[in-house]
Amino acid sequence: MPVSTLRVIVLEDHSFQRAIAVSMLQQMGCTQVFQAADGAQALAVLNEVGPVDIALCDLRMDGMDGLEFLQAVGHSGQVGSVIISSSLSADLRRTVRQIISLLNLELLGDIGKPLHYETLERLLKKHCSAPRIATPPEPPEIFPDEAQVREALATHELCGFFQPKFILETGEITGVEVLARWRHASGKVLSPACFLPVLERYGLLDELLNQQLHQGLALQQQLRTLGHDLNFAFNLHAGQLSSGTLASQIRSLLSEYGARGSSLTFELTESGLLQAPETSLECLYRLRMMGCRLSIDDFGSGFSSLQRLLQLPFNEIKLDAGFVQALTQEPRCHAVVSSTLALGEALGMAVVVEGIETDEQRQHLLNMGCSQGQGYWYARPMSSGDLLRWLEGGQQRSLRA
């Protein structure tokens, strides 16, 4: 898509700054630039001229402000992407960015004030270069019922995908996280959001875990014969810890596949651990006694209790991906990551940072003292066959000098 075909609306209550923004866009080649002094005026313009590709939006305005405008156009299709240009503090802009994602709007950038020509131009080029027409429309989302999920378990359509964890400095792979996916009969690969709620509702999480453990341990055994000794991490729901047989079942599987307890990690989200009952604590204790690693997943996304962190026998923290995305833009996110790294070191817990998507993020985390990470920059989740080919083909990144 050429820049000249973009339709852009500028929301800015300061007439001089609005004029500068319009002039910049026109210099970049935009021929359809509309403007408004507040949200109500912008809605009137859109009703007259039709949908726009981009809204360059201030947030603090008299009358209908920028957030009210975005809430009004969210889910309407009148605005494709949003560029925030505001002098509000970073923490307030971060809240607005979260709201934008909930409104089914694409956030193209958050560039603050004053506007810089090069930054704005880069965002326009980013928008134009993104593939939008070639991809066919997505078929309707699939929402399975209990019978369909039970059938998928019985036919092993629910399978594990594997995403590597790596050393930031060297690129060496240290392990993989096993993620549930559904190879649906329609040809689609469904994410856990489609089927995990059904599994949880009908008490089928243990059956899924059992299948994942068998698949994962068999693959791990195969990788060992090829010289790849990798830790495999499985996700556990806090409710599964109350089972009095979970630890013994895992012990039996380790024996069956000739694996060590230290070759497994179990990840639990922090939100389910705050009120862990006695039976759950015993299960965690027995898993650690077998040598298994325990990881608090999505750390920082819930309401964690430092007291509980001390009480529970975890030895790894996985920091939520949301903090990495704004690491270089927001001092608060930087402070959270830095504090978590220090906390992990003080408690003798490893810290794995999720959601690393760029080399800039990797380098920044490395400079902060982070050693382990996970994210699309290194590798996306892949099937067992793809993981084998990826490892044997030497496709993993090597960062050694």
- Dihedrals phi, psi of 203, to nearest 5 degrees: 65, 40
400 within a domain of the structure (yes/no): no
Q: Are residues 344 and 310 in the same domain?
A: yes
265, 292 Cβ separation under 8 angstroms? yes
134 within a domain of the structure (yes/no): no
The parent domain of residue 59 ranges over 3-129
DSSP class of residue 62 equals S
Which amino acid type is present at position 276? A
141 within a domain of the structure (yes/no): no
Looking at residue 28, what is its pLDDT? 94
- Please report where in the chains the tokens 């800015």 appear, as a residue: 12
Pairing state of beta strands 32-36 and 7-11? parallel
Beta bridge partners of 57: 11, 84
192 within a domain of the structure (yes/no): yes
Over the stretch 261-279, which tens digit does the pLDDT of each residue have? 999 999 987 666 655 666 7
Average pLDDT of span 129-135: 51
pLDDT for residue 135 is more than 50: no
Beta bridge partners of 164: 176
Average pLDDT of span 32-50: 94
Looking at residue 300, what is its pLDDT? 67
Task: Give how many domains the chain has, as a whole number.
Answer: 2
Q: Are residues 238 and 345 in the same domain?
A: yes
List C-alpha distances in Å: 348 to 210, 313, 342, 355.
Answer: 30, 11, 10, 23
Task: Enter the tokens of residue 53.
Answer: 């590709």
CATH code assigned at 42: 3.40.50.2300
DSSP letters for 305-357: -HHHHHHS---EEEE-THHHHTTTT-HHHHHHHHHHHHHHHHHT-EEEE----
Minimum mean pLDDT range among 4-13, 236-245, 381-390: 236-245
Q: Are residues 190 and 282 in the same domain?
A: yes
139 within a domain of the structure (yes/no): no
pTM more than 0.75: no
Q: Are residues 57 and 193 in the same domain?
A: no
260 within a domain of the structure (yes/no): yes
Looking at residue 1, what is its pLDDT? 61
pLDDT, averaged across the chain:
88
Annotated catalytic residue: which of 267, 270, 316, 354? 354
- Dihedrals phi, psi of 382, to nearest 5 degrees: -145, 160
Which amino acid type is present at position 129? S
Q: Are residues 158 and 16 in the same domain?
A: no
| Alpha-carbon span 173 to 168, nearest angstrom | 9
Task: Enter the tokens of residue 386.
Answer: 């793809």
188 within a domain of the structure (yes/no): yes
250 within a domain of the structure (yes/no): yes
Which residues, including other chains, have CB under 8 Å from residue 307's CB and lie 6 or more apart?
A: none
Q: Are residues 164 and 228 in the same domain?
A: yes
Q: Are residues 330 and 386 in the same domain?
A: yes
Pairing state of beta strands 189-190 and 231-235? unpaired
Over the stretch 247-258, which tens digit does the pLDDT of each residue have? 999 999 999 999
- Please report where in the chains the tokens 């009480």 appear, as a residue: 311
* Active-site residue, 345 included: no
Last residue in a domain, options 100, 129, 158: 129
pLDDT for residue 20 is more than 70: yes
